Amino acid sequence: MKKIVFGIAVALALIGADAFAQSFSTMQDREFMFRRIGDGGGAPQPMPAPMATFIKPFETEPYVRFAIMYGFTNFSDRVSGVDLGFVDDDSHSGSSAGFSIAYGTPFYGQWSIEYEVGLMGDLDSNMDNHKLELGAWTAGVNFLYNFDVANDRVLPYIGAGLGIAELSVRHSGEGECEYAPGEICGYPNPVSKSSMNFMWRIVAGIGTPVSERFDMDFRYSLASLGGVKSTGNYLYFDVDEDDYFIDDLTNDISGVMSHQLSLGLRYRF
């Protein structure tokens, strides 16, 4: 997954660089034509601002945005056993890559509204004795405020969003028990579970036009994705006694917070 996202990022960077080079050449041509025609071929005169008429703030036109993202996620995991009767609280974190697709349109002044769907790839967290994979699909609405700045090539914005997130978790594998050295613990059979949750996020970004219809932007978002609970057969194997038993172990994952950085390419209609 990370290799695919890296390839997409390289492709986006190449497209943006080529579009920027073409747009810069276009601006130079326009500047030369204005200076020669405007004063009959004499000394150059100041250009009207802005000469690059294709530079338009995000809020003026509808757009579609495709972005690749890399996120750092942290969460709490409350583990409880039925037969053993123990409870353990712990915190974990990890990183993953993903992508998002959005459609945005202006709706009031410098405000725009954006409908976004995204995928956060599986976060692999190696626990003490097994592997935990956590991923999410998200769908929501973002409300963005586009700042009006003097430099038309710098287009900053902030916003917030609401939506839903489908969290999925998978526990698998076995290893040495953390609290019982020499014993083997884990999930002989993988346990998977998903949960649909309410989601909120805050975003901040900055973009720049690279051609008549394309903009590139860099965005940071903080998203709260909720939690997911799973229960499955958990194996305890005593190597010395050559004996084992199975408990119904519950993993209650909560407070999933994801810090995401994304590189996006916008096409304005």
The predicted-structure confidence for 202-224, as pLDDT tens digits, reads as follows 999 999 999 888 999 999 999 99
> Are 215 and 266 within 8 A, CB to CB?
yes
Sign (positive/negative) of CA torsion 106, 110, 114, 118? positive
Which is more confidently placed, 79 or 8? 79
The boundaries of the domain holding residue 31 are 2-268
The pLDDT score that the predictor gives to residue 26 is: 42
Indicate the number of domains in the chain.
1
- 107-111, 123-127, 206-210, 239-243: range with lowest mean pLDDT: 239-243
Sign (positive/negative) of CA torsion 148, 149, 151, 156? negative
The single residue listed with the structure tokens 């020669």 is 36
How many other CB atoms sit within 10 Å of the CB of residue 260? 23
Which is more confidently placed, 38 or 43? 43
Q: Residue 136 — very low, low, confident or very high, per pLDDT cuts 50/70/90?
A: very high
* pLDDT over 60 (residue 39): no
The pLDDT score that the predictor gives to residue 128 is: 64
DSSP 23: H
SS3 145: strand
Token readout for 222 is 């903080």
pTM for the model stands at 0.72
The pLDDT score that the predictor gives to residue 80 is: 80
Most confident of 14-28, 211-225, 228-242: 211-225
* pLDDT over 90 (residue 130): no
Q: How far is Cα 60 from Cα 53, in angstroms, rounded to an integer?
A: 13
Whichever domain contains 41, its CATH number is 2.40.160.20
As a whole number, mean pLDDT of residues 241-259 equals 80
Token readout for 97 is 């890559």
Angle value at C-alpha 238, between 232 and 243, nearest 5 degrees: 85
